[in-house]
Amino acid sequence: MTSATEFKKSVEQIRKEALQEIKGANELGSLDQVRIKYLGRKGSITSLLKGLKDFSEKERPVLGQLSNQLKGNLELALSTRMKELEVAVGQEGEFFDYTLPGRGGWQGKHHPITQVNDRVTEIFYGMGFEIARGPDVETDYYNFSALNFPPDHPARDMQDTFYIKDDLLLRTHTSPVQVRVFEKRKPPVKIIAPGRCYRNEAINARSFCTFHQVEGFYVDTDVTFADLKGVLSAFVWELFGKDVSLRFRASFFPFTEPSAEVDISCVICGGKGCGVCKQKGWLEILGAGMIDPEVFKAVGYDPEVYSGYAFGLGIERIAMLKYRIDDIRLFFENDLRFLRQF
């Protein structure tokens, strides 16, 4: 059996020879052969480690540590030499054509929803509207009751609400911001409230379970429906162009009376009739109306003194019309082939 002293001499001998061969390797192929010779499955260090079984339990830890140190030294030397040879090879064959055109870097872009939301906000801000925001998680009071939705009102069923618990829910519109602002401020109040909304709807090409909305409202003395029509007409013409026509259709919303839905002439066919507008020549873009006196009573406004209007529009709907997109799901799939077009 080999003695511990002879084992230590073998370790030093292997270390000396291996380091000389690593230093003398002038190409990657020969360096790999050195690696196999000493660190391979049948290499010198593997043989040393297998021989440890012949030593006593007292000698084994010391000799094993020497073997592992040797292995670590050689692995470091091999790695260092390999990098030196790779650099040398790269320098030999390096060639750069300075006449080639430069490579442009990737530039990030705003999501189309963000672009449309910013543009809508910019237009109304230019008309004197301030910007307010509210929480995505709302109470039943702010989302429904304060907006003239009694507990048994059938309009609640139209909202397809995501309830967290009995009195807590994901807001179905940004109208709760209207109530929160009214509670803190006295007229005149002229606000837009952009934000994300949630409804428990089936996902298809025309609807999604989450969407973005901009709510707008103006309260003062002597505010009329004519003021509302003027603001919305100016907004549509600024966003879609002067050639677009508008029409107001009577509708119903619990928090406005009278209420209307606003249509524009189809931006795809110019009002002639196509598949997008279902051959009608008109496309609905938003809902609006005069704020119901019951909403004023809930926040302490005197409906005999103040009047106001409110409107709400969906950003996804506007974006689909503006960019002629026929599937709302594209906005949420994060497909770079789609997003890079904007």
The string of pLDDT tens digits covering residues 56-104 is 878 878 878 888 888 888 888 888 888 887 776 655 555 566 677 877 7
Q: Over 90: is that where the pLDDT of 267 sits?
A: no
15-30 per-position pLDDT tens digit: 888 888 888 888 888 8
Q: What is the DSSP string of 111-180?
A: -HHHHHHHHHHHHHHHTT-EE----SEEEHHHHTGGGT--TT-GGGGGG---EEETTEEE-SSSTHHHHH
Do 89 and 207 lie in a common domain? no
Give a three-class secondary structure readout of 30-60.
HHHHHHHHHHCCCCHHHHHHHHHHHCCCCCH
**Which candidate, 125, 127, 163, places its Cα nearest to that of 143?**
163
Of 123, 128, 103, 248, which is closest to residue 191 (Cα–Cα)?
A: 128
- CA max distance for the chain: 111
Question: What is the per-residue pLDDT across 140-180, written as a single tens digit (0 to 9) for each?
Answer: 999 998 998 888 776 676 668 888 988 899 999 999 999 99
Domain boundary among 93, 126, 149: 93
**Domain-located, residue 100:** no
Residues 248 and 225: beta-carbon distance below 8 Å = no
Q: Are 339 and 111 in contact (CB under 8 A)?
A: yes
Structural domain includes residue 79? yes
- 150 located within any domain: yes
Domain boundary among 66, 93, 120: 93
**pLDDT averaged over every residue in the chain:** 86
Q: Are residues 262 and 141 in the same domain?
A: yes
Whether residue 14 is found in the same domain as residue 151: no
Distances (CA, A) of 76 to 71, 73, 110: 9, 5, 48
pLDDT of residue 212: 94
Domain for residue 177, yes or no?
A: yes
Q: Are residues 49 and 182 in the same domain?
A: no
| Residue 238 placed within a domain | yes
Taking CB atoms within 8 Å and a gap of at least 24, the contacts of 230-238 are 231/127, 231/309, 231/311, 232/262, 232/286, 232/288, 232/311, 234/127, 235/120, 235/123, 235/124, 235/127, 236/262, 236/264, 236/285, 238/123
Give whole-number Cα distances, 33 to 17, 26, 284, 287, 332, in Å. Answer: 14, 12, 76, 78, 54
Instruction: Tell me which of 103 and 285 has the higher pLDDT.
Output: 285
Beta bridge partners of 137: 170
Domain range holding 218? 112-339
Which residues does 280 contact at the CB level (< 8 Å), separation at least 6? 266, 273
Instruction: Note whether residue 264 is domain-resident.
Output: yes
- State the average pLDDT over residues 180-202: 92
Residues 210 and 249 in one domain: yes
Of 93, 124, 149, which residue sits at a domain end?
Answer: 93
Average pLDDT over residues 252-260: 92
Mean pLDDT of 285-290: 93
Checking if the pLDDT of 2 tops 70, the result is no
324 and 209 within one domain: yes
> 120 versus 47: which is more confidently predicted?
120
- Count up the domains in the chain and report the number: 2
Are residue 28 and residue 117 in the same domain, yes or no?
Answer: no
Determine what percent of the chain is predicted with pLDDT higher than 70.
94
Do 320 and 208 share a structural domain?
yes
Q: Is residue 102 part of a domain?
A: no
CATH of residue 271's domain is: 3.30.930.10
CB atoms within 10 A of CB 280: 12
d(CA 316, CA 203): 14
Residues 196 and 128 in one domain: yes
Indicate whether 203 and 161 sit together in one domain: yes
Question: Are residue 85 and residue 131 in the same domain, yes or no?
Answer: no
Give the per-residue pLDDT at 1. 46
- Whether cis (ω within 30° of 0) applies to the bond prior to 101 is no
Residue the block writes with tokens 């409110």: 310
Of 239, 240, 263, the C-alpha closest to 123 is 239
Residues 74 and 151 in one domain: no
> What pLDDT score does 148 carry?
86
Higher pLDDT, 154 or 113: 113
For the cut 80, the answer to whether the pLDDT of residue 125 exceeds it is yes
Classify residue 101: in a domain, yes or no: no
Band of pLDDT at residue 181, cut at 50, 70 and 90: very high
More confident residue, 291 or 109: 291
Please say whether the beta carbons of 213 and 175 come within 8 A.
no
CB 319 within 8 A of CB 212: no
